[in-house]
């Protein structure tokens, strides 16, 4: 379906179409479509644009990614469908590895996601079951010994709250991109960015480029000053603030 250029919600509808197309080609799992629907609802409530809170969250996240020694970006079917190119650019800007992690993990889906990133010049980690996140029972427990297992920081998107919690128990810093400020993922993360991955990933890359030349101490200070729960409360309060508080369109 071609969405008219003048449609006020064109971007959201195009993303919707994209998820459906990648579902048909096997990259997005059926549950991924439902997760996308939940995300769309929250995105509608924040006005389908990056809020001031999200900009502050992304700035702190960029600082954290730059101070990490072994950062990893975790991808799944939805994020591959929506922003593989932008993820590849972010991974080069930091630099960070890219690792695939799936709840509905099948050889076919792993291969399809690996191929999408290969086209972008990225060798995706995580296709072999060689290391585990202790405590996790789902297939999301499988991680790459050279990727998430050895990482000191992980950027996760459309994640489940359990894995975020267990990754933190392993001593890793977790940055989450999640449109739902109430999700366990957002609340368990060190830094949560309440924004659509399609906007948050390029914004993160922009801030990484902006902060890259800053001293480590300056970056660490930005991270230290950030309070995730307080920041999530700001995001939540914008949503609860009512339709009259911002302009849509
Ligand atoms: P949790 O376990 O963290 O409480 P959950 O059970 O809702 O969360 P999932 O079913 O994996 O976890 O849902 C995925 C999350 O990703 C939801 O919170 C949803 O709002 C969010 N989400 C969906 N699409 C996007 C998107 N495009 N950008 C950012 N976040 C998204």
Domains with residue ranges and CATH for the chain: 52-241 (3.40.50.12640)
How far apart are the CA of 23 and the centre of ligand 1, in A? 17
d(CA 13, CA 208): 29
Distance from Cα 219 to the centre of ligand 1, integer Å: 28
CA 83, chain centre distance (Å): 10
Between the CA of residue 240 and those of 53, 182, 246, what are the distances in Å? 14, 12, 12
Q: What are phi and psi of 133, to 5 degrees?
A: -90, 115
Residue closest by Cα to atom 31 of ligand 1: 39
Which pLDDT score is estimated for 244?
56
So what's the pLDDT on residue 249? Answer: 44
Q: What is the pLDDT of residue 24?
A: 97
Q: Distance from the CA of 180 to the center of ligand 1, in angstroms?
A: 7
Token readout for 240 is: 């609860």
Which residue's CA is minimally distant from atom 12 of ligand 1?
Answer: 160
Ligand 1 pocket residues where CB is under 6 Å: 35-36, 38-39, 42, 82, 158, 160-161, 177-180, 183-185, 196-197
Token readout for 115 is 């191929």
3-state secondary structure of 125: strand
Tens of pLDDT, residue by residue, the chain (249 residues) = 677 888 888 898 999 999 999 999 999 999 999 999 999 999 999 999 999 999 999 999 999 999 999 999 999 999 999 999 999 999 999 999 999 999 999 999 999 999 999 999 999 999 997 899 999 999 999 999 999 999 999 999 998 889 999 999 999 999 999 999 999 999 999 999 999 999 999 999 999 999 999 999 999 999 999 999 999 999 999 999 865 555 554
- Strand 142-143 to strand 131-132: parallel, antiparallel, or no bridges (unpaired)? antiparallel
């Amino acid at each position: 379906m071609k969405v008219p250029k003048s449609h006020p919600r064109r971007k959201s509808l195009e993303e919707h179409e994209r998820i459906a197309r990648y579902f048909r080609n096997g990259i997005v799992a059926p549950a991924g479509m439902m997760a996308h629907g939940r995300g769309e609802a929250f995105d509608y409530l924040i006005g389908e644009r990056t809020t001031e809170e999200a900009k502050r969250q992304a700035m702190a996240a960029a600082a954290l990614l730059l101070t990490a020694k072994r950062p990893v970006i975790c991808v799944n079917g939805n994020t591959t469908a929506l922003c593989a190119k932008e993820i590849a650019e972010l991974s080069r800007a930091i630099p960070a590895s890219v690792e695939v992690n799936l709840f509905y993990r099948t050889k076919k889906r792993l291969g399809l996601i690996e191929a999408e990133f290969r086209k972008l010049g990225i060798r995706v980690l995580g296709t072999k079951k060689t290391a585990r996140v202790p405590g996790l029972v789902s297939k999301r427990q499988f991680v790459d010994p050279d990727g998430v297992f050895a990482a000191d920081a992980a950027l996760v998107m459309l994640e489940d709250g359990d894995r975020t919690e267990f990754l933190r128990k392993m001593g890793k810093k977790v940055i989450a991109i999640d449109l739902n400020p109430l999700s366990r993922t957002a609340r368990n993360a060190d830094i949560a960015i309440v924004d659509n991955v399609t906007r948050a990933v390029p914004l993160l890359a922009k801030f990484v480029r902006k902060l890259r030349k800053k001293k480590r101490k300056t970056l660490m200070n930005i991270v230290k000053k950030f309070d995730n729960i307080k920041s999530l409360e700001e995001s939540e309060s914008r949503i609860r603030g009512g339709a009259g508080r911002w302009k849509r369109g």
